[in-house]
């Protein structure tokens, strides 16, 4: 799964679109919203939030996104 898939955006998404996706997913999976959930649901939310945070960390930074895109073969420059 690519970082774009984690955020649910296209590889051509703008930073604003990625931020909107990040915020939506954070509101869905942040562990604070699942504190009273059963342990399995809480663990799933924690894991998804970690994935979402990593995706946002890489894709929100222009240089890191460029390097990531090159590794995926999306950029040839």
Task: Specify whether the CB–CB gap between 26 and 49 falls below 8 A.
Answer: yes
Q: Find the largest Cα–Cα distance for the chain.
A: 48
- pLDDT tens for each residue of 51-75: 999 999 999 999 999 999 999 999 7
Of residues 67, 74, 32, 28, the one with CA closest to residue 51? 28
Tens digits of residue pLDDT in 8-53: 999 999 999 999 999 999 999 998 887 888 889 889 999 999 999 9
Q: Hey, is 24 helix, strand or coil?
A: helix
Question: What residue has token string 């990625």?
Answer: 18
């Amino acid at each position: 799964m690519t970082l774009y898939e984690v955020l649910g955006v296209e590889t051509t998404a703008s930073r604003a679109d990625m931020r909107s996706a990040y915020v939506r997913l954070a509101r869905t999976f942040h562990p604070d919203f699942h504190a009273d959930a059963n342990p399995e649901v809480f663990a799933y939310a924690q894991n998804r939030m970690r994935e979402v945070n990593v995706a946002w960390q890489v894709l929100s930074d222009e240089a890191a996104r460029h390097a990531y895109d090159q590794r995926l073969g999306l950029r040839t420059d």
